[in-house]
Structure 1
Amino acid sequence: MKVAFNNQVAIVTGAGNGLGKTHALALADRGAKVVVNDFGGARDGSGGSTEAAEEVVAQIRKNGGEAIANGANVADFEQVTQMVDETVKQWGRVDILINNAGILRDKSFSKMSLDDFKAVLDVHLMGSVNCSKAVWNIMREQNYGRIVMTTSSSGLYGNFGQSNYGAAKMAVIGLMNTLVLEGAKHNIKVNALAPTAGTRMTEDLLPPEIFKLLTTEAVTAGALTLCHEEAPNRITLCAGVGGYSVARIVETEGVFLPESDQTPEDVLAHYAQITSAVGQKELKAGSEQGEKFLNKAMAFIKSQR
C-alpha cells in the first residue's frame, strides 16, 4: 500500500535538525501540511532561535509543499497551546503529532545535578505531555488522531550516564499505554519510536565510519509507519541502520502462593517458576495483572473445597 498524508496536518517537534527534520520533510513530500517546530536551542537545551525551523520550511516550500515554522518551547504549555491554536487557525485541524524534541545532559547519576535531571524530563516527558494535551481534544472532536512518542533504548534497557534521559524515555511509554486506552473510541492511535540514528545528539559519541551508517531516513520510515491512516496501535517500533524490530513489555505467568506461604523464603523457593518465560505474554491494561492474580486465587480456593 502507498503511505500518503494528503490533506492531513502534522506537527513535528524538534524538527529543525536531525530526525525531526527528516520526519517533517518526508511528511510534506507525501502530502501533509507540516508545522516545523523547533526551539532552536543547543544540544543541552540552552539558547533559542527559529532559524533552523525556517530553513526546513523553506526547503519544504521549494519542493512544492506547505509548512509553517514555530519556535515554541515544548516544556512550556502556554507556548505549545499557542502553537496548536495557530495551526488550527491556519489549516483547521491537527491529524498527526510527532513528539520528537529532546535535549541531552549526560552525566553519571552521582555527578548529575537535579536541575539537569529535571531539565531533561521537562523536555522529553513534559514536552510530550504538553503537546499531546494541546491536541487531544481536537483529535477527539474530529474523531481522528495519530500521535508518536519518541522513546529510546536508553529508557527501555538503560544506558550509563543517562539516568535522566532514560527515565524520561521510559515514562513516555507509560504515557502511550494509557493514551491508547483513552483514545481508542475516538480513533486516536498512539505509538512509540525507538530510534538509532546519527544526529547532533550522537555525532561526537560514535566513530565517523559508524556515524555515516546511522541515517535519519531509516528511522523516518518507521515514524511514518506509525502515524498514517492504517497505522498500528500501541507499538514500540525500534528503527535504525536499516534494522526494524518491536520492543514489548511482557509478564510471566507466575505462581499463586496461599496465605500461609507468602514469605520471602517461599517466593525465593518458587523463583524459577515465577521467572519462567513459559506462558509469558504482553498485557493490554494494568487491570489484567490484577485479574490474573485474582483468577489464580479463585482457582486455588476452588481446589481446596
Structure 2
Amino acid sequence: MTTDDFEGRVAVITGAGRGLGRSYALALAARGAKVVVNDPGSSVDGGASTEDAAGSVVAEIRAAGGEAIADRASVTDPAGVQAMVDATLEAFGRVDILINNAGILRDRSFHKVDLDDVLAVLDVHLTGTLRCTHAVWPLMRDQGYGRVLFTSSQNGTYGNFGQAGYATAKAAVLGLMKVLAIEGASKGVHTNTIVPVARSRMTEGTIIGDQQDAESLPPESVTAGVLYLVGEDAPNGVILNAGGGAFSTTELPETRGVFLGRDAQPEDVRAHWDEIRAGGYVDVLENGPAQFTKFLGMARGEA
C-alpha cells in the first residue's frame, strides 16, 4: 500500500477555518505538508464575524509540530487572493496543492430570491474558485507539478429546492474541472472534484436532519478522499463523492441515442422519445469533442 506523504509540499486551502477545510488542513499538516489556512471568518451567509477561524487552525497545526500560516482574505477579493499567493511564496517558496473549499449559503426559492444573493453565492463558490485557481495555475505549470481540487455538491448534480445560486455554482465547477484536467495534464497539473457528504455549517438543518445523521457523517470522513485526490498518484478529472466512510465516483454518461435523419421534425423526436432516453447501454465521454465525434459517426451511419 502506497503511503501518501506530503513532506515538502505546500497546500493552500480556502475556507479552512472550520469543518471540512479544517479537517483537510490538519490532515495534510500531519503528513508533512506546509499549509496556508485561508478563512476570513465569515458567517454561513458570508456576513462579517469577529472569529479568527484561520488563526485557530494554524495554532492547532503548530501545536502538533506542523508548519502553517494564516490568511484572512476573501476569495471574492482579487487583490486579497493575489496577496495570499504572494504570502505563500514568501513563506514557503512554492504552491503544490490548492483546495477550493470556501463557500456560503443564501437559500431561497427562485421566485422569491434576491438576485444579489444568487450573485453573492456565485462569487464565492464559482468566481472565487476561478480566482484562486487562476492565481496559482501559472506557478504549477512552470514547476511541472500541481494538484487542484474543486468542491461540488450533490445539489449541483441533481438539484435541490431553494438553491438556485448554490447548485448553479456547484454544477459550473464541474465543467471548469473537465477543461483544466485536459489543459493541465501535459504539465503535471491534475484537477479533480470532491463532493462531500458530511456534517458542516452549510448542511446542518438542510440536508442533514437529526443528530444521529450528523454523527454518522463527520467532516473527517471525507478527508481520506481529499488527500488521495491531491496526492502524487492522484487521478485527473474525476468527481469523487465521500462521506461517512463511503466513496463513489459520479460519471457523466450519455444514452446511446438514435439517428432520426437530418430532416427530423419535432414529431419524430416525440415519437422516438423513449428510445432516445433508453438506458442500458450508455457512453461515458472523456471530453466535449468526443460527443461531436459520436454524433458525426451516427450521422455517417458508422454507429
TM-score (norm 2): 0.96
Whether the 8 Å CA contact 1:238–1:244 is kept in 2: the answer is yes
Match of 1:216 among 202, 213, 219: 219
1:150-189 equivalences in 2 (<5 Å):
150-189=151-190
Equivalent position amino acid for 1:263 in 2: Q
Separation in 2 of the partners of 1:178 and 1:49? 38
- The CA deviation at 1:251 is 1.0
CA distance 1:49–1:231, change in 2 (3 Å):
farther
Q: Secondary structure at the residue paired with 1:209?
A: helix
- The CA deviation at 1:49 is 5.0
Residue in 1 that maps onto 2:75: 74
- The CA deviation at 1:136 is 0.2
Match of 1:207 among 210, 219, 229: 210
Q: Secondary structure at the residue paired with 1:193?
A: strand
Whether the 8 Å CA contact 1:38–1:50 is kept in 2: the answer is no
Separation in 2 of the partners of 1:50 and 1:100? 18
- The CA deviation at 1:263 is 0.6
- The CA deviation at 1:259 is 2.6
Q: Secondary structure at the residue paired with 1:251?
A: strand
Separation in 2 of the partners of 1:59 and 1:11? 16
TM-score (norm 1): 0.95
1:46-85 equivalences in 2 (<5 Å):
46-48=47-49, 51-85=52-86
Aligned length: 300
Poorly superposed stretches of 4+, deviation over 6 Å: none
- The CA deviation at 1:204 is 3.4
Question: Where in structure 2 are there 5+ consecutive unaligned residues?
Answer: none
Question: Where in structure 1 are there 5+ consecutive unaligned residues?
Answer: none
Between the aligned residues of both structures, percent identity stands at: 51
Separation in 2 of the partners of 1:82 and 1:132? 14
Whether the 8 Å CA contact 1:189–1:234 is kept in 2: the answer is yes
Whether the 8 Å CA contact 1:49–1:71 is kept in 2: the answer is no
CA distance 1:297–1:204, change in 2 (3 Å):
closer
Residue in 2 that maps onto 1:288: 290
Separation in 1 of the partners of 2:190 and 2:44? 30
Whether the 8 Å CA contact 1:36–1:67 is kept in 2: the answer is yes
1:154-211 CA-to-partner distances (Å, cap 9, x unmatched) read 1010011111111110011011010111101101111101111111222334212221
1:249 aligns with 2:252: yes
1:278 aligns with 2:280: yes
Equivalent position amino acid for 2:224 in 1: A
After superposition, the CA RMSD in angstroms is: 1.4
Equivalent position amino acid for 2:102 in 1: A
Equivalent position amino acid for 2:278 in 1: S
1:11-26 equivalences in 2 (<5 Å):
11-26=12-27
Residue in 1 that maps onto 2:148: 147
